[in-house]
Every structure is written in C-alpha cells, then in structure tokens.
Structure 1
Amino acid sequence: MISTFVGGIIASPWMRAALRYGTIALAIVLFLLSFCRAGERTGRLAERLETREKANEIQRRMLEAAARRPRDRVELVDRLRDGGF
C-alpha cells in the first residue's frame, strides 16, 4: 500500500521535477560545504607552515650566534678589548 502511494507520488511529473531540483540543490549545498571545509583546512595548514618557518628562522639565528661566540675566556677578553661586541 505504501509502495503504491510512493509510486503514485513519484509518477507525477511535478513531483519528479521537484525531486530532481531538490537533488540538484542538495548536491550544490553539499559541494559548497565541502569547499568551505577545504578552505578552512588550507588556512590551518598555511598558519602551521608560517609558525614552523618562524621557529626555523629563530633556530637558524640561534645557531649562527652560537657559531660566532667566543670559544674560551681568552677570546672573550680579546673581543671585549677590541670592542667586538
């Protein structure tokens, strides 16, 4: 009985058109939602990359400063006398 009722509704040309347009509208909405989520994910990845680049830059500066530091007290005293700091 239900199958004949549903079959009768779907057999109507107006209902078929409504189902068709409803399906198309649902597909478009789902596509737009997935597009927004992909944009959010891309933004988070870009922010993470920027943070990592800043951390790498800071670490590089620290390594360069460590490479230029005086090796012992004698070199430190020489630099202080020469005004190298």
Structure 2
Amino acid sequence: MAEAVLTVVFAVLLLNLLAALLVCARRGMAGSWLLVILLAGTTGAALTGILAVQSDDGRRFLDVALVLTGTAAVTAAVRAALPRRSAE
C-alpha cells in the first residue's frame, strides 16, 4: 500500500514539474528564472527522495536530493542579495 501511495505522489510531482516548466517555456517568462530553478530544485529533491525510499541502494539518490536542495537555496540567497548589491 505504501509503495502505491509513493508511486502516485511521484507521478503527481513529476506532472507538476513538467507542467510548470511547459508554462514558463510557452509564455517566455525570462524574468521568472528564479521560480523555475526553485521549483526544479525542491520538486527534484522530493522526487529523488521518493526514489531513495523505493530503491535498494538509496544513498546515491539522497546525495542528489541534497545537491538539488542546496542549488535552490543558494539561488534564492543570491537573488535575495541582488537588489542590495545593485543599489550600492
């Protein structure tokens, strides 16, 4: 039962990520690159976390999830600091 729930959650997250990327690509939202990176980082981390739980050797997937989360966090920090730097 738990594996079926994880599979459904995985599919929903993957569809959410693909739909968001398609919407951003179609509308030509060049200013929303931060949103795409944050969404890819956090959703990608969730997807790899689910893969880690479902696989026999999950350590590899947990490392990927950690890298994706770190990428999203660093990108958000850089974007948050950007207005302060340009004002100087």
**TM (normalized to structure 2)?**
0.38
Larger Rg belongs to: 1
Greater relative contact order (Cα 8 A, min sep 6): structure 1 or 2?
Answer: 2
TM-score with structure 1 setting the length: 0.39
